Structure 1
Amino acid sequence: MLVTLYLFVFLHFVHVDVQADPSVVIIGAGPAGIAAATRLLENSINNITILEAENRIGGRINTVEFAGHFIELGAEFCHGERNNLVYEHANKYNLLELPTKSLENNVYYSNGSKLDPSLVEELGLQEDYEYYAKGNFNFTGKSIGDIVIERYNKKQVEKYKNEKEKLKLAKEGLRYSELFTLTNEGSFSWFDCSADNGYEVCEGNQSLVWKKVGYKTILDILMRSYPDPNKKLPIDDKIHLNTKVQSISWNKSESVTVLTIDNSSYFADHVIFTPSIGVLKQQSDKLFTPSLPSAKREAIEATGFGGVIKIFVHFPTKWWKDDHSFSFFWSEEDLHIDYPHGPRKSGISWITQLVDLEQNINNPNVWSVWFAGDLVPEVEKLPIDVLKNGCEFVFNKFLGKNYNVTAIDQIVRSTWYTNPNFLGAYSFTKTGLYRPDLSYQEVLAEPLKGVEGKPAVLFAGEATNPVHFSTVHGAIETGHREAERIIKLYKRKQ
């Protein structure tokens, strides 16, 4: 009798303790995971554990030191000023500024000549695809490539039918426009990404960059360690780096069981899953027991996820003038150049997918190279010397007539697509799969309910944001959303 009474009291005590301070495991310490953790801590939910597969926090924010200054291997821009959490946080401390670059004024042709800026503007090579769809142009079911080609061809072919040279440039310019578009969309082809989607642009400048502190500072602001490190939330001892999750068992008992690859087990009332949609695409079948519901599997398939590469190069000697950027426009003839090193596809070398060269705002001797297109996965695997030589070849081919381009002495690149903890850069809506009556992002965000009907596994991350996907501010919003879901659940029970 006493044993039974003691067991009853013990179980009753445990039950009350769980309701007062539920246990939460957060998978991933990117902006969504850190946002969720800090929001929980701010609301006195302290029993949290953060499991991060990388050896650092930040996810697709990756500010690193290079040539004595910070560079952004991952997220770089703050997209907009209104209804943007990144802007709201950073602007309080005057941490954002405009980049000093003007791509349209420095477009070089592959014969080494600079295209007249007025001609670049006239051709409309760097216009957003929506520019071509003004009026009554129908987006429904079409890709960005469909929209641009249809509208652009109608406009430019008619306009230049009697001007042979301009017509040639206009036709060649479609490929230039595609690469320019892919750096924004993160897909491997502009036929992959839908022209109609639910994305909502935050008003204001779309290309604000961080001052010398770097994008990683948004994490410090969320954790309250910036501007005063003494006010940091008690989060450090809750983060477990180099801890990759192997499986999540979510519907067999009252608690969720998370098993890591080192065979450590973590038990929680709730799990917030924040890894990329790329990880879900490749690993969801073996990650979750039981398997994900069919609606969520369909949403994973419907979400696009590709990749871009940022390459940073350092020149020990200045060779440029007052330039801040150069972009590269290949002629049809040069596009099939017989470059002997590195991958090719359909007879076209990887070097032709280098988009532009942009000066680092904090270090004029450091320049970033954007690389986009279907050869991204192979270029990420290239030996660094092959990458360096390919970049130098392109710079000299395009700029060598006007500049004495010096050799690169340091180089580093991003590897988001081949990193198994990310498997891509940022999400997009696949062509033909946008539905105004059904948001696949919202389906992705729908929690998995456990045996008691409570949200056992919750989902956050940029790909689960129906209006701000592919952005850091969108990721932060989802971390707050899932934290609030847990907070409200226990507020109702108290």
Structure 2
Amino acid sequence: MTPTIATALVLALTLAHHASLASAAGHRVIIVGAGMSGISAGKRLSEAGITDLLILEATDHVGGRMRKRNFGGVNVEMGANWVEGVNGGKMNPIWPLVNSTLKLRNFRSDFDGLAENVYKERGGVYDRAYVQKRLHRSNEVEEGGAKLSAKLRPSGQDDMSILTMQRLNNHLPNGPASPVDMILDYFKHDYEFAEPPRVTSLQNVVPLATFRDYVYFVADRRGYEAIVHHLAGQYLEADKSGNIVVREISHSGSGVAVKTEDDKVYKADYVMVSTSVGVLQSDLIQFKPRLPAWKILSIYQFDMAVYTKIFVKFPRKFWPEGKGREFFLYASSRRGYYGVWRRQRSPGDRHRRGVEADRAAARQPDQGGDRGVLGEDVPDATDILVPRWWSDRFYRGTFSNWPIGVNRYEYDQLRAPVGRVYFSGEHTSEHYNGYVHGAYLSGIDSADILIKCAHKRMCKHHIPGKFE
């Protein structure tokens, strides 16, 4: 039988030549979560000869926060959507999979026309030269922030918020007060990190390692999740066993036991936990014995942000089209109030069929409340889709945000194993947390740590001190 994942909305996954869910002796490794990091870790383990794997997934699909949904006759991405850092000094490893291997339909996101697409609260567009001047000043401050960031000690003890850096550069010393300054500040920071400048670390996001060059938007009927399916299909097959929700992980020097919501117990030598840090901060999974204090502290050092894309369908087009018209900014007197809009490109159709509003808040918009964004001649929306990431117990947010004062030491602690319990996920990626390639690389890194223990008996994981 050829290993495949194409037919699966996953439930439990096993290696094709180890098709039973659990043997009397248990498995070599159990992986909790079939998102990008879990699937990536499993692939790395199987390549290293650790082939007796069991992957337990709580939802009804492979891909985790990479998930498509049909809306208005178009597949839209509920979560991850972009491939960042393409053609940079260090190539994003996801890009060859998207562009060459799977040939997923994509296009470069065009931010060049931003200054001429900033809409006033009472209708009309702001003067391009005025917006460009404010944008240029914001870019200057960011460049100054990058120079300051390079001088900070690696320990994180000198770290500061982006907001503090702005004040040091005398940028908006009393805060962004004008609608234009507020939306530009929101677009440059909240839109990227799902958190405002006052809680986002300067040292770890300026300069941002991910954005070395271009950013490409994936818009394929197969969905961005097709990458995870492709990776899984190289070593897994689906087992039609139903959704499996892990509620308890017992661990000792001799092995692990994973108990699920339906009271089944799966045993293994090791377990790899690839849930989000938001789930680790919740009470969904209990560890027995309790995780040590250093691990608990590392888990709660990090924030789980909420980045919500609101999809709105209209009966007709009313927005301008053409080059430089991909993004629109709404300069409200309320900072971040439905501020960033983009036209949704339909797979297989060169026209746009709807407007997608990216908003870092999970609340239902008023169907008539968007009339101020692009003028008064706006028809009522015929459909609205608002993902609810925070209330979903299997995610508890969209991606992690790197707080102020946290450095490599805390990330090493977050990733470090506790006995036979290993951890993976985008939140354990030192340079690319919050991104698809961060999840992919973290799966490889965490698998390598486990492989050293399983194959070479190098099980003591050393964490350099914070000030080393």
- Determine helix, strand or coil for the equivalent of 2:329: strand
Q: Which amino acid aligns with 1:396?
A: R
Q: Determine if contact 1:132/1:152 at 8 Å carries over to the other structure.
A: no
Instruction: Name the CA distance, whole Å, in 1 between partners of 2:139 and 2:223.
Output: 28
1:274 and 2:283 aligned? no
Whose helix fraction is larger, Structure 1's or Structure 2's?
1
**Which residue matches 1:368?**
356
- Determine helix, strand or coil for the equivalent of 2:85: coil
Match of 2:115 among 94, 104, 114: 104
Instruction: Name the CA distance, whole Å, in 1 between partners of 2:211 and 2:121.
Output: 36
Q: TM-score, normalised by structure 2?
A: 0.80
Choose 209-218 or 242-251, whichever is displaced more: 209-218
**Which residue matches 1:57?**
62
Choose 90-99 or 214-223, whichever is displaced more: 90-99
- Matches of residues 183-194 of structure 1 in structure 2 within 5 Å? 183-187=191-195, 189-194=196-201
The alpha carbon displacement at 1:67 in A equals 2.2
Aligned length: 411
CA offset digits 1:414-442 (Å, max 9, x no partner): 211121111111112212x224xx52111
**Which residue matches 1:397?**
372
The alpha carbon displacement at 1:149 in A equals 4.0
**Which residue matches 2:18?**
none
- Determine helix, strand or coil for the equivalent of 2:109: coil
The alpha carbon displacement at 1:174 in A equals 4.2
Q: Which amino acid aligns with 1:185?
A: F
**Which residue matches 1:229?**
none
**Which residue matches 1:303?**
302
- Determine helix, strand or coil for the equivalent of 2:182: helix
- Structure 1 residues 22 and 130 mapped into 2: Cα distance closer, same or farther (>3 Å)? farther
**Which residue matches 2:449?**
485
- Name stretches of at least 5 consecutive residues in structure 1 with no aligned partner: 1-17, 158-167, 225-231, 336-347, 450-455
**Which residue matches 1:354?**
338
- Name stretches of at least 5 consecutive residues in structure 2 with no aligned partner: 1-22, 153-157, 458-468
Instruction: Name the CA distance, whole Å, in 1 between partners of 2:213 and 2:355.
Output: 22
The alpha carbon displacement at 1:444 in A equals 0.7
Instruction: Name the CA distance, whole Å, in 1 between partners of 2:241 and 2:201.
Output: 38
Instruction: Name the CA distance, whole Å, in 2 between partners of 1:211 and 1:153.
Output: 37
Instruction: Name the CA distance, whole Å, in 1 between partners of 2:287 and 2:146.
Output: 44
* RMSD, aligned α-carbons: 2.9
- Structure 1 residues 240 and 186 mapped into 2: Cα distance closer, same or farther (>3 Å)? farther
**Which residue matches 1:338?**
none
Instruction: Name the CA distance, whole Å, in 1 between partners of 2:249 and 2:455.
Output: 26
**Which residue matches 2:395?**
422
Q: Determine if contact 1:274/1:459 at 8 Å carries over to the other structure.
A: yes
Q: Determine if contact 2:259/2:266 at 8 Å carries over to the other structure.
A: yes
Q: Which amino acid aligns with 1:327?
A: L
**Which residue matches 2:245?**
244
Instruction: Name the CA distance, whole Å, in 2 between partners of 1:430 and 1:67.
Output: 37
Choose 317-326 or 110-119, whichever is displaced more: 317-326
Larger radius of gyration: 1
Q: Determine if contact 1:51/1:240 at 8 Å carries over to the other structure.
A: no
Instruction: Name the CA distance, whole Å, in 2 between partners of 1:203 and 1:457.
Output: 33
Instruction: Name the CA distance, whole Å, in 1 between partners of 2:168 and 2:179.
Output: 15
Instruction: Name the CA distance, whole Å, in 1 between partners of 2:262 and 2:176.
Output: 57
Match of 2:99 among 76, 91, 103: 91
The alpha carbon displacement at 1:490 in A equals 4.1
The alpha carbon displacement at 1:193 in A equals 1.5
Q: Which amino acid aligns with 2:74?
A: H
The alpha carbon displacement at 1:206 in A equals 4.5
**Which residue matches 1:146?**
164
Fraction of identical pairs, as percent: 25
Q: Determine if contact 2:276/2:427 at 8 Å carries over to the other structure.
A: yes
Q: Which amino acid aligns with 2:142?
A: E
CA offset digits 1:416-473 (Å, max 9, x no partner): 1121111111112212x224xx521111111111xxxxxx111000001111111111
1:439 and 2:409 aligned? yes
Instruction: Name the CA distance, whole Å, in 1 between partners of 2:212 and 2:99.
Output: 13
**Which residue matches 1:29?**
34
Q: TM-score, normalised by structure 1?
A: 0.76
Q: Determine if contact 1:439/1:466 at 8 Å carries over to the other structure.
A: no
The alpha carbon displacement at 1:215 in A equals 0.9
- Structure 1 residues 476 and 169 mapped into 2: Cα distance closer, same or farther (>3 Å)? closer
The alpha carbon displacement at 1:171 in A equals 4.2
Q: Determine if contact 1:316/1:365 at 8 Å carries over to the other structure.
A: no
Q: Determine if contact 1:56/1:241 at 8 Å carries over to the other structure.
A: no
Instruction: Name the CA distance, whole Å, in 1 between partners of 2:280 and 2:141.
Output: 29
